[in-house]
Amino acid sequence: MSDSTRDPDVLELDRRHVWHPYTQEQTAPVPLVAVAGKGARIVLDDGRELIDLVSSWWVNLHGHGHPAIAAAVAAQAARLEQVIFADFTHAPAARLAARLADLLPGKLDRVFYSDNGSTAVEVALKVALQYFANRGDVGRRHLLAFQGGYHGDTVGAMSVGKSSGYFRAWEELLFPVDMLPFPATWIGDEAIEAKETEAFAALDAALSDGVAAVIIEPLIQGASGMRMCRPEFLQGLASRVKNAGALLIFDEVMTGFGRTGALFACLKAGVEPDMVCLSKGLTGGFLPMGATVVREEIHQAFLSESLSQAFLHGHSYTANPLGCAAGLASLDLLLGADCQAQRAGIEAIHRERLQALSLRPKVLRPRVTGTIAALDLDDSGYASAQGPRLRELFLERGFLFRPLGPVAYFLPPYCLEAADLHRAWDTLEGALSRA
Ligand SMILES: *Cc1c(COP(=O)(O)O)cnc(C)c1O
């Protein structure tokens, strides 16, 4: 692409009128202007191409602008772009719900659509509380969550994610939630059993008959730095929550749709939660949409002659047909043999390269789950200076790479070529030998 395609107004209009998320705009670098996307690459207005190593905030599965999803969205847009979802239904919503129910374990059969990951979590929390109220079990009002967990930016999601530390400005708005220790682990971790024992003890102490639900990011806490736990921990958690009569919510907004290697983290862990929150990869990264999938028995508790027992929650764009069409097309790709091989290939390269790299003293807590690899550069927390430096270096080499504080991680679209992934690891290796 030549310079003549640059639109000089974009940055000026942005500078004057646009407010960017999670950004200190006074000190942030000038934003990059994206004009196109193809496969794992994002094309900039100056003709440069960046390889997307973070799947554009973890949403993209099959690459940018995938023609099959683009065609499905275009065809749906020409037929029916949107319709009110109370009193109406439509084929894309019904079909996508049936396919999600089919792919998720056991009785996770009922899908409530919303707009994003935060709303998928809000819905799960509200359903949990009303479920017990509808059954006359009015004492179950408390929620438990895990230290370091992140569940989104609306008030309920912030309350269960408040230990992430992002929400100090609104602390007095958040409702009380007991926070449990999360037994994070990594390759070569010898203390994991002791950490899990401690976490189970805290859980046992917190699980009373006043607890309605426990929410966790299964296998990987994303935003707090790709902190991973063992499937064994989730199995122990599930049986304890069940015995206590509370509901278990898996926030699979990031881990869903193949990220952990399996289609969903709950399948990989061999656990059937009571609710699963989905978003991010749900539409293959094309459109904002969320879904909360619940066990049919939970849904049954909302059926009665009275409107007050119904779930009085909804969004203007609930079950948007374009999002559902994108979701169906994305699932077709995800279930194909190609995609499975792509994901296995990424994991194999991650493991091989991380093993070599982890011999260096500067590499802390190396870890891999499925298509996600991570390591800590130091112990200095979110304000680490290493992250921004690395990000700049990767940018010079043509990569979109975005450490979370001192945590370097790769979470690429599944279509990323092996050679490009190796070049990303080479870049990290080079940076660490120089540092
Ligand atoms: C990103 C994320 C959310 C919030 O999703 P949004 O679409 O940004 O509202 C919730 N939970 C987890 C685990 C996430 O990674």
Q: 121: Cβ below 6 Å to ligand 1?
A: yes
At 175, which amino acid appears? F
**Please, what is the Cα angle at 370 between 403 and 199, to 5 degrees?**
80
Q: What is the pLDDT of residue 434?
A: 76
- Average pLDDT rounded to a whole number, residues 354-380: 93
Residue 2's pLDDT band, with cuts at 50, 70 and 90, is very low
Residue 8's pLDDT band, with cuts at 50, 70 and 90, is confident
- In the annotation, is 38 catalytic? no
321 forms bridges with which residues in the sheet?
none
- In the annotation, is 414 catalytic? no
At 280, which amino acid appears? K
Residue where the block lists tokens 């960017």: 20
- In the annotation, is 317 catalytic? no
- Interval between CA 151 and ligand 1 midpoint (Å): 5
Q: What is the pLDDT of residue 433?
A: 86
- Interval between CA 260 and ligand 1 midpoint (Å): 16
Q: 151: Cβ below 6 Å to ligand 1?
A: yes
Q: Which structure tokens are listed for 367?
A: 């870890």
Atom of ligand 1 nearest to the CA of 223: 15
Q: What is the pLDDT of residue 435?
A: 63
CB 158 within 8 A of CB 290: no
- Interval between CA 94 and ligand 1 midpoint (Å): 24
How many Cα atoms within 13 Å fall on the side-chain side of residue 385? 1
DSSP assignment letter at 144:
E
* pTM, rounded to two decimals: 0.97
Q: 118: Cβ below 6 Å to ligand 1?
A: yes
Q: What is the pLDDT of residue 1?
A: 43
Mean pLDDT of the chain: 96
Residue where the block lists tokens 């438990």: 144
Residue 5's pLDDT band, with cuts at 50, 70 and 90, is low
- Interval between CA 12 and ligand 1 midpoint (Å): 30
Is residue 352 pLDDT above 50, yes or no?
yes
Atom of ligand 1 nearest to the CA of 290: 7
Q: 254: Cβ below 6 Å to ligand 1?
A: yes
The residue to mutate among 22, 54, 254, having the most atoms of ligand 1 within 8 angstroms of its beta carbon, is 254
Catalytic residue among 3, 22, 87, 379: 22
Is residue 3 pLDDT above 60, yes or no?
no
Q: 217: Cβ below 6 Å to ligand 1?
A: yes
The 10s digit of each residue's pLDDT in 13-54 is 999 999 999 999 999 999 999 999 999 999 999 999 999 999
Catalytic residue among 150, 317, 409, 414: 150
221 forms bridges with which residues in the sheet?
227
Is residue 86 pLDDT above 70, yes or no?
yes
Is residue 95 pLDDT above 80, yes or no?
yes
Catalytic residue among 115, 131, 280, 317: 280
- Interval between CA 274 and ligand 1 midpoint (Å): 19
Is residue 195 pLDDT above 60, yes or no?
yes
- In the annotation, is 251 catalytic? yes
Atom of ligand 1 nearest to the CA of 119: 9
Q: Residue 398 to residues 57, 204, 334: CA-CA distances in angstroms?
A: 17, 49, 27
Helix (H) and strand (E) counts in the chain? 14, 16
Question: CA-to-CA distance for 209 and 206, rounded, in angstroms?
Answer: 10
Q: What is the pLDDT of residue 379?
A: 83
At 392, which amino acid appears? E
The 10s digit of each residue's pLDDT in 422-432 is 999 999 999 99
Atom of ligand 1 nearest to the CA of 255: 13
At 282, which amino acid appears? L
Atom of ligand 1 nearest to the CA of 280: 7
- Interval between CA 23 and ligand 1 midpoint (Å): 17
Residue where the block lists tokens 């707009």: 115
Distance of CA 300 to the CA centre of its chain: 28
- Interval between CA 148 and ligand 1 midpoint (Å): 14
At 297, which amino acid appears? E
Is residue 135 pLDDT above 80, yes or no?
yes
The 10s digit of each residue's pLDDT in 242-300 is 999 999 999 999 999 999 999 999 999 999 999 999 999 999 999 999 999 999 999 99
The 10s digit of each residue's pLDDT in 140-154 is 999 999 999 999 999
Question: CA-to-CA distance for 251 and 253, rounded, in angstroms?
Answer: 6
CB 210 within 8 A of CB 139: yes
DSSP assignment letter at 162:
G
Handedness of CA 387, 390, 392, 397 (dihedral sign): negative
CB 408 within 8 A of CB 428: yes
The residue to mutate among 60, 114, 121, having the most atoms of ligand 1 within 8 angstroms of its beta carbon, is 121
